[in-house]
Amino acid sequence: MQIDKEKLRTLVQQYEEVYLFSTKRIESLMAEKIMVPMSIEQFGILRQLAVKGPLQPKEVATITGVHKSAVTLKADRLVSKGLVHRKQDEKDRRVWYLSLTEEGESVYARSEEAMTEFISSYLENLDPEEVEVFLNVYKKINRMMQDREEPPAP
């Protein structure tokens, strides 16, 4: 399906506005409600560790589409905040795993709650059918993006 250029431009502009607003708002919510300032990217790492359990930095990089060196830098910040710890593999000392600390689990749970509250405050204004369409479109776009995603360079 071909989208006309003007409609596509409007769609991109709306996406940018929503993305920029929500990113700033979510980061400030985390700082206010969770009392732990963190970027969306750091939250993404916490989320992957909460959902999948201990991961190597290269696995986090592949899952999140972020270069391994950037994951290492963000993980360093999370370690210094006491939210993540590194553990060396007992069989292969060259391999390290990242996992959530108890505080990291707590911060992740509170962050998820704050984000759900923030997002639901907007979705509550939609009709149930609109929410269903929105969710289906988001799922479809997510699948397409994952299908096209190339892993980052090592």
Chain segment 123-151, per-residue pLDDT in tens? 999 999 999 999 999 899 888 887 876 55
Q: Any idea where the domains of the chain sit in the sequence?
A: 5-148
**The amino acid at 50:** A
Give the pLDDT of residue 38: 81
Give the pLDDT of residue 34: 73
- H/E stretch holding 3 reads none
pLDDT tens-place string over residues 37-83: 788 888 889 999 999 999 999 999 998 888 889 999 999 999 999 99
Yes or no: domain 5-148 corresponds to CATH 3.60.15.10: no
Paired residues of 55 in beta bridges: 98
This prediction has a pTM of 0.76
